Structure 1
């Protein structure tokens, strides 16, 4: 049994080799629309469990974007940079060995969001992973599971952020439904609340709009419920925590510790909303448990919770203090093989997500699997000789190989460009935004032109390192596709023989059928080898060996 429950004693480049043998101190930072949160934990692999040793929060309001352009404003970015610098100082004082940072709705949607991420890396040396709405929901699910026992019963999780609201249905195992809707406390306040106190007409319109936006996500979630199942609603985020704190103070006279497990009914939420909406920002701010900045957005946040509960037909919500930040930590533990029981399915979330997308777009899985095996075999046999990429890059190459032909779903013509679009918008789970961008670019450049600065997709990559990954690995993918040119498995296996003294790489190919001369495969290799040769500065020479000669890789 993984001891992740109730432990409140509780980038892309990491690949520690001794993860399972020692304790680790990690920090997870959530760059949200309203606030920047950090949690610092001590991971105990032997249990495995993590102990929360510090929490930090700073309200920076990245969601206060330019009304004309939608850009993050200079003021908001400056506040965020300052908050992140403070987080780094705290992390350093606690001997944090690795900081994992993720950015969500505000940065995801802003036209200058990627530039902001580059600025953070340049000024602070902090790499930020931009994650999709569904990936955010998946990690929220992991965070909640680490703090509550579901007992294999269906639970709906609602996380109300500044820019989006995530709805998740799960039962201790794989999430049945993950959704992210563009209704958040900051976004709705900015768009619909112009009076103080809020006028009746604005309040009614806010309710109607929120309900309309949530309807589709709620209906999709309900479809995943089995007949007779009655799920419990679990709420996370600052909005719901504030509601629970104020409710507890008024009802009990104190705030339970921990607050996880505290329940508030729909009726009581409606009563709080009706009372608060008659007050100004300043009047709400003096309510015990209500911060100044929260008082500005609490009406919109509470309305989102109310309307979601009405649509779901659920009359109470149970608070969970864990969410995305803790989910980032759990995801790290899963990635590094520290959790092996009821969350073990998450270890293969990437693989299953790729297969799901491939199936959705009609990819021939038998063919794509052969190409993927060829690609990773080329990767493995040339590792340390022609390149020094590691496990993570190998996984991205595999995913791109599995999905490289999905663009045929749209059209055979320029299908490599369509593959890029489908992968970028396919909601691959388990991957960061940068990793999805790399996979999409690898598929984009598996044929036709090699990646160049003039290509927008290539320029979208955040740094020279990631462009180099695409340039080098797409050259391998081109050869892997050529090796199955007829898509019949004509090549059984191959061996790479590198001759550094004369800068040649010999491919010894073994056909599946002894009488097959593999003319088309040899022609395709010869046709596609130019990009590979230019990228690795070697001459590629292919040989067809007899089918009865064993090749030892």
Structure 2
């Protein structure tokens, strides 16, 4: 099943005719539980903004997992690979310089989800970023905000997917709440619906289950609303768009284009749910505006929306056609420095999320910031000489440096291993799953053993490149930690001088107090430098300069 906004040839002619120097073509793919979506856009850094060139969709049903094991099935993975291969062809035809792909609920939860990501890379050379539920919600917010003006008023965003439902409360600025709940149209249909039409017992059980699952997220969201605030509800996703299309056809006789901004009420939705529950699958499939595959899951999706609206106390929903895949584009623009004013607050999400986790686990921020500064100084001064990593890897090193000691929150003994687990499962926002895993491993190896293939946490990194990043950047972090061994800021600056002939790296250290011999820092450097020297094939020579 494929949906496109226009024929590729028409699109490419249009954007080639209107493109200016500096414009960039980017594709974003959302690997969802029900459908795979792709959007190809022309990014215009001078504005900054993006224009959608083409959209593509295929109903893969990746969420049709083995009910006993939870594994993605071979058939579903094969359908997914074929869809992604076709997406790549379209992106190449439209001259996309990069394809950014993210995977969500179905891949997150399947025991073989990581294997599927590796298979995609092996067969298609496409790197897929696995993102957490909260990160998915954040990017949905970015996608919605790219097309709707909230005017600093509170808005609730609901996105009903195949495997999860995201709820976001925001007001043009920092999102107040980001939640992802395991209720989705495909998941609930496969797990709870066995009758056709649905029996009264199954319907009421499904309704009660949805209420129970949404309760925590709704309570959290409502707690962040002021008594005087009346939020507007914005809905995204295929389920909500389908409901809007059915409603528009029956009420207006036509479907607005674009659909963004179209509204329907809770009462309208209740009436539709009551109709759908009395209909068989074949009867639902005859409703104008609903596809055969959507007809299978529309009742569960509509019921999720109905119960969410009741629990939130809102009576009208406004449709937004932009969601996760457009949010991926906005996030790409942010990380590449292409958005400077609108949404500027989002550009620092990584740093702010890292500091939030650090505070949560009682990290000494003065100390960790000094270690981060040393690590980044070493990174910058050896870039192009000892390593060739760029801005993205630098950001991973920064977060690892700030969080390297958070394991003390659990125990002093083996705290580097505790740091790994706290970072790995700490819901860092702004990072993909692979990036979080990389940060956790860099922090893990700031002391004791160097990375080894026999270590499961190191071996399970997504690729050889990720393991190289960990090995090289953790070696830099070791030196940075040694430079503040007493945690008092005894050394103020470090200057690196590399002799490529002798392969000597001279580390000139400036003490904060000229009378301080920084003996403990020098000893710590001697103790920690062998791992660094072995990794880079150099000899490190530290000298105190006054």
- Shorter-normalised TM range: over 0.9
In structure 2, the residue matched to 1:390 is 390
Tell me if 1:258 matches 2:286. no
Aligned to 1:379, the other structure's residue is in SS state helix
In structure 2, the residue matched to 1:117 is 117
Task: Write the mapping of 1:134-283 to structure 2, written as runs, cut at 5 A.
Answer: 134-283=134-283
Determine if contact 1:490/1:518 at 8 Å carries over to the other structure.
yes
- Give the superposition deviation at 1:21: 5.5
- Give the superposition deviation at 1:314: 0.6
Distance 1:20 1:387, change over 3 A: farther
Aligned to 1:328, the other structure's residue is in SS state helix
Q: Give RMSD over aligned pairs.
A: 1.4
- Give the superposition deviation at 1:336: 2.1
In structure 2, the residue matched to 1:489 is 489
Deviates more, 1:462-471 or 1:340-349: 340-349
In structure 2, the residue matched to 1:372 is 372
- Give the superposition deviation at 1:347: 1.1
Q: Can you list the C-alpha shifts for 1:403-449, whole angstroms capped at 9, x where unaligned?
A: 10111111111111111111111111111111111101001111111
- Give the superposition deviation at 1:20: 11
In structure 1, the residue matched to 2:101 is 101
Determine if contact 1:156/1:233 at 8 Å carries over to the other structure.
yes
Aligned to 2:141, the other structure's residue is in SS state helix
Distance in 1 of aligned mates of 2:55 and 2:385:
45
Aligned to 1:157, the other structure's residue is in SS state strand
In structure 1, the residue matched to 2:534 is 534
- Give the superposition deviation at 1:171: 0.9
- Give the superposition deviation at 1:506: 1.7
Distance in 1 of aligned mates of 2:532 and 2:178:
40
Determine if contact 1:108/1:132 at 8 Å carries over to the other structure.
yes
Tell me if 1:423 matches 2:443. no
- Give the superposition deviation at 1:66: 1.1
In structure 1, the residue matched to 2:126 is 126
Q: Can you list the C-alpha shifts for 1:163-194, whole angstroms capped at 9, x where unaligned?
A: 11000011111111111111111111111111
Distance in 2 of aligned mates of 1:75 and 1:362:
47
Stretches of structure 2 lacking an aligned partner (at least 5 in a row): 1-9, 12-18
In structure 1, the residue matched to 2:5 is none
Tell me if 1:288 matches 2:288. yes
Aligned to 2:430, the other structure's residue is in SS state coil
In structure 2, the residue matched to 1:549 is none
In structure 1, the residue matched to 2:62 is 62
Distance in 1 of aligned mates of 2:267 and 2:98:
44
Determine if contact 1:133/1:180 at 8 Å carries over to the other structure.
yes
Distance in 1 of aligned mates of 2:180 and 2:21:
37
TM value normalised by structure 1 = 0.94
Distance in 2 of aligned mates of 1:365 and 1:21:
43
Aligned to 2:188, the other structure's residue is in SS state helix
Determine if contact 1:20/1:338 at 8 Å carries over to the other structure.
no
Tell me if 1:544 matches 2:544. yes
In structure 2, the residue matched to 1:6 is none
- Give the superposition deviation at 1:269: 0.7
Distance in 1 of aligned mates of 2:64 and 2:519:
61
In structure 2, the residue matched to 1:550 is none
Tell me if 1:399 matches 2:428. no
Distance 1:226 1:255, change over 3 A: same
Distance in 2 of aligned mates of 1:542 and 1:212:
61
In structure 2, the residue matched to 1:412 is 412
Distance in 1 of aligned mates of 2:314 and 2:189:
25
Distance in 2 of aligned mates of 1:542 and 1:148:
55
TM value normalised by structure 2 = 0.95
Determine if contact 1:72/1:110 at 8 Å carries over to the other structure.
yes
Distance in 2 of aligned mates of 1:191 and 1:26:
37
Distance in 2 of aligned mates of 1:295 and 1:195:
14
Distance in 1 of aligned mates of 2:47 and 2:526:
54
- Give the superposition deviation at 1:337: 2.2
In structure 1, the residue matched to 2:461 is 461
- Give the superposition deviation at 1:503: 2.1
Distance in 2 of aligned mates of 1:268 and 1:497:
71
Deviates more, 1:378-387 or 1:54-63: 378-387
Aligned to 1:469, the other structure's residue is in SS state helix
Aligned to 1:91, the other structure's residue is in SS state helix
Distance in 2 of aligned mates of 1:76 and 1:249:
33
- Give the superposition deviation at 1:514: 2.0
Distance in 2 of aligned mates of 1:344 and 1:311:
33
Determine if contact 1:475/1:531 at 8 Å carries over to the other structure.
yes
Distance in 2 of aligned mates of 1:360 and 1:21:
45
- Give the superposition deviation at 1:217: 0.5
Determine if contact 1:240/1:302 at 8 Å carries over to the other structure.
yes
Distance in 2 of aligned mates of 1:421 and 1:406:
10
Distance in 2 of aligned mates of 1:25 and 1:538:
41
Structure 1 segments, 4+ long, off by >6 Å, are: none
Q: Can you list the C-alpha shifts for 1:142-179, whole angstroms capped at 9, x where unaligned?
A: 11011211111110000000011000011111111111
Distance in 2 of aligned mates of 1:146 and 1:501:
52
Distance in 2 of aligned mates of 1:306 and 1:64:
24
